[in-house]
Structure 1
Amino acid sequence: MLINIDLRSDTVTRPTAGMLDAMMTAKVGDDVFGEDETVHALETKLAHLLNMEAGLFCPSGTMTNQLAIKCFTQPMDEVICDQTAHVYRYEGGGIAYHSLASVRLLHGQRGILTADMIEEEINEENIHYPHTSLVVLENTVNKGGGACYTLDQIEPIHTLCNIKGLKLHLDGARLFNALVATGDEAKHYGQYFDGISICLSKGLGAPVGSVLLGSKETIRKARKLRKVFGGGMRQAGFLAAAGIYALDHHVERLAQDHQHARAIAEVLNRVSYVNLVMPVETNIIVFEVAAGFTAQNITDALCKKGILCSPTGPKTVRFVTHLDVSPEMIDRAIEILIHLQP
């Protein structure tokens, strides 16, 4: 019997037994009325962890990002981000739809921006130009193969934004992967960002949910916008309990996912059907297929052997390791990759 090794995304994980128990025993109430104590506990826990004033539990990272952008911009403003950014590529045109803002796209090194790059693209006040009001960073960078910002890289961007009067938001969908990889501490993040989005349903392994962190005033505004977006949830504590469990039990184990990703990358660097593998820093492996192959050729061939993965372009493929991929599965995947004849 063929057993699938699912490397399409770290969003495919199932709750562990301990997480399920925490969910089923959670104390819940109506969160729209502000009465769900488990939701409040999750929001407070993450706010304290990242040294922010308040948090807001939402169904998805797309919602937390779009709420932040809406809070930090006005119609006809401009948002600066990398051209690979999730907020630009994978959120359905939400910046234009929700916030009526335009986007200035930069070309960072694997999605990593610098203060010098950003400063060159900040518009002067001129009736012909949109008003630059917000910078969005992504950590880790999905399209950059899980590339990480360090706090040393973030600090000068924060300083520039302060000088220029810009807000700074972090799409931290995989921030805990970055923290494990860099050794930076979560508590230092709050001093640099006006908003931080934390996704619980990726490497941390919760089934649903993201939290937006910010000032009390930002979160007050975002809470109203969440209702307008249709994101108000009732007895959401069952889901919030999974997030609390993930934060308590699934952060340190991210290092194993990173180790698994590096092991796969070592093999990919040796096989004939791969041309280039991006440097692996966390749990994402992005590789370019060799001449004569397409990404679809490779993903189809791997699927027939039991490895599920995703093409990210005509010539690029992505693997993502996660808590449902065991060491034995990694060994099996490596064996398949070595002997694959697409």
Structure 2
Amino acid sequence: MTVKIAVLGAGSWGTILANLLVENGHQVELWGNDPKKVAEINEQHTNTHYLPDFKIDPQLHATIDLNVALDQVDVVLFVIPTQAIRAVAEQIVPVMIAKKVKPVIVTASKGLEQGTHKRISEVLTEAIPETNRNGIVVLSGPSHAEDVAQKDITTLTAASSDLIQAQWIQEIFMNDYFRLYTNPDVVGVEMGAALKNVIALGAGALNGLGYGDNTKAALMTRGLAEISRLGVAMGANPLTFIGLSGVGDLIVTGTSVHSRNWRAGNALGKGQKLADVLANMGMVVEGVATCKAAYELAQQRSVDMPITRAIYNVLYEDCDIKTEIAYLMRRSGKPEIDFDEV
């Protein structure tokens, strides 16, 4: 069955997911806000700024016109920076009303909204009235666009309170190299997806400072404990964090040069200033904004997150990375697992 899908966001991940969906036999419109990039996709079948060596399927059509993207659409897939989600969601509502469509809304973005600290599905729930959508599904898991472009075996989670819609999205995306599992724990999947970017910044910084594998393993393991702690406080199932959107996403983001969060942290570890790192990245580093939101959430809910606090201090208080590491290591001893919390 061919499905009409609008993919909002022509960055690396949006382009690769749109291309995958075309290869799966669906009709896809890739929406972007840069006319030059849209023209390049349509005319050259490339997106060299994000994917310099990738050839896009000629059947994939890109547009800057939401009226074209949303015409007769069955699914709308958000793959744009977190802080732009609300504005774009509000922008598409009158178009969907005019087009008389009620699509399933899917998000493959990862982060927390600044100020409100809301998860992306919460933002979409607020911005798109229930009468104009047919459920919300969160797509998340260990996935670099560069690897999916090479058809590397990839597994993700489709999370939704509506299992039927999650299973439908699962069917649309799955093929020989791209496999989805379903999960009803939307809170856990989104919190894992967002918070792992913060820990990836720290992992990159350790690499930039020259630390070895022991140190990186320690950071990711204890970082996962913090992710789980805050996630559970927000209502998540703790088992979600040992799954694809928890430990799986943390491994791939905290160890790979493909991760912009890891690369940003690596540059910070080598002594570069945050403003320079962000200016030179050419893409949004979600972990920077998410770190602030996570730090503030932890303060509000009295959740102990020392690693997140240390990264926040480096990013927002201009603290020295080595000083923060020394503080983390010199804290008083404690049990690895607090069984009263389990």
Do the two structures share a fold, i.e. TM-score over 0.5? no
More helix by share: 2
TM category (shorter chain) comes to: 0.3 to 0.5
More strand by share: 1
Higher relative contact order at CA 8 Å, sep ≥6: structure 1 or structure 2? 1
Please, what TM-score do these two structures have when normalized by structure 1?
0.38
